[in-house]
Chains A and B, each alone.
Chain A
Amino acid sequence: MFDPLKPVSPGRRTALGILFFVVFFAAWGVVTYGGIVPPLFLADPVKAARAGIELFTKYNFIGDVGITIWRVVGGFLIAAVFAVPLGILMGAFKSIEAFFEPFISFARYLPASAFIPLLILWAGVGEAQKLSVIIIGSFFQIVLMVAVIVGGSRIDLVEASKTLGAKRAGIVLRVLLPGAAPQIAETLRLVLGWAWTYVIVAELIGAQSGIGHMIMDSQRLLDTGQMIFGIFVIGVIGLVSDFLFKQANARLYPWYFIK
């Protein structure tokens, strides 16, 4: 059972995965129903579920979820549209990399959340500010990761393409790009996950809608059930988007997943 790197059967994998959720909810039940943690600080599972139903039926929570998804996807797409081509150029051409890399490496460490007060000043508390937070948080990460992926392309494939008559544009578009595409998609999947943390932070401050805003509101009412449910929803959406991303990758890049 504990042989290093030994594969586990699909059935067992699913069972083990589900088992953890069971353990998790059981532990949650024990600490809440057992009175170890007072209800003021942590709602029990049933109460959280009830709060969730209430959120959807009474407080139009689906609207909050929608607006938050829109912000994440919108900001993330804007960042990706600019970051991926720049990353590819940096990976392919070392002088472009030398020009941008130091600044972007620096900018990457600027925490997106620290920009929120400034962004409110510049862009108000509207959608532009929410999107900006996500763009700042995602753009530099994507650029650097894509540059590293493309820079690590197989030189022997580039040489082979040259002996087959490929010139600069052909090498970038038909060797470097398709070779790096699956890993770029993997990077985007990862960064999309991070974008979720940025959007919630952005919604905690100066927002009138969104999951983060709902969580903030619930805190004022000390409704831990609603807060927990909001966080839970974020997790579920993350799981679903991750799953969709993985499915799309497997379809788009079948060659990459051949063992």
Chain B
Amino acid sequence: MSKLRIENVSRVFPGVRGGEPTRALEPTNLSVEDNDFITILGPSGCGKSTLLRIVAGLDQPTTGSVLLDGEAVRDPGPDRGMVFQSYTLFPWLTVRENICFGLREKNVPDKQQAEIAAHFINQVGLKGFENHFPKQLSGGMQQRTALARALANDPKIMLLDEPFGALDNQTRALMQELLLGIWEQHKKTVLFVTHDIDEAIFMANRVLVMTARPGKVKCDIAIDLPHPRHYTMKTTPEFAAYKARLTEEIRVEAIRSAQAEH
């Protein structure tokens, strides 16, 4: 049985002030297997974030349903860890307290909280910054904390909404390797939204390309590159071949999306 099933999920946003309703997402189907790392690639405004928010339970689908381990998703919950593009650490909590937030909501004993926090602080390379407030951290460090915060809850699936989108290129590349390393170790199931083609290929075992608005899945491409992956992989001919194909797929959609705006 699939880990996550997205069945016929669509989303129509009601029109603003009597305007036309916006069809953000056409009926979409997707089966995610255990340990899948799926990247969802699409031009901006294609509904890929909407899809992720529906899986998270932060938005309700107009039609269809989302099943996690066979159970319907209605509300947000700790079984689906999310990392957002914007910085969403709690500014009044230190790095460690942020990572413990979900554990505290679950009433995990303090001692156990401290152990889990220490483990993930180590894993994302934030040792020595446990007592810093988010404002004292760089963007990359904040997103690493957000990642640790989501992982600390031991979710069934990780949902990442362009988590590295606001970071500079170098930091972004390092974060990709960090996340991939964590995935290779923990074998989490991951849904990762991005508009960056390199990122989509490098991270994934499956890339889903979405069409311009109204978004739907255009193609589902298996990425058959070995693990563990190293950044040098981005210069191999195999990688280049995937990139050429995806660039073509996404270019058509970007053009359509640009035309639709005029």
Contact = CB atoms under 8 A, between A and B. Distances in A.
B76 interface: yes
Interface in A142-191: 156-157, 159-167, 170, 174-175, 178-179, 181
Interface residues of B, number: 30
B150 interface: yes
Given A161-B101, A164-B105, A165-B106, A156 B86 contact: yes
Contacts of A163: 56-58, 76-78, 80-82, 150, 159
29 contacts: A157-B88, A159-B58, A159-B84, A160-B82, A160-B88, A161-B90, A161-B101, A162-B77, A163-B78, A163-B80, A163-B81, A163-B150, A164-B78, A164-B101, A164-B102, A165-B106, A165-B153, A166-B105, A167-B105, A170-B105, A175-B90, A178-B92, A178-B93, A179-B90, A179-B92, A255-B92, A255-B135, A256-B92, A258-B133
A253 B135 CA distance: 13
A170 B90 CA distance: 13
A159 B146 CA distance: 13
B206 interface: no
Contacts of B86: 156
9 A-B pairs with least C-beta separation: A165-B78, A164-B102, A162-B76, A163-B82, A160-B88, A258-B135, A255-B133, A165-B105, A178-B92
B147 to A, nearest CB: 12
Interface in A216-259: 253-256, 258-259
B96 interface: no
A259 B136 CA distance: 9
A164 B153 contact: yes
Contacts, number: 75
Interface of A: 156-157, 159-167, 170, 174-175, 178-179, 181, 253-256, 258-259
Interface string B91-130: 1110000000110111000000000000000000000000
B149 interface: yes
Contacts of A170: 105
Given A166-B105, A179-B90, A160 B135 contact: no
Contact of A160 (B57, B84, B106, B133): B84
B174 to A, nearest CB: 23
Given A156-B86, A255-B91, A256-B92, A164 B150 contact: yes
Contacts of A253: 92
Contacts of A178: 90, 92-93
Contacts of A174: 101, 104-105
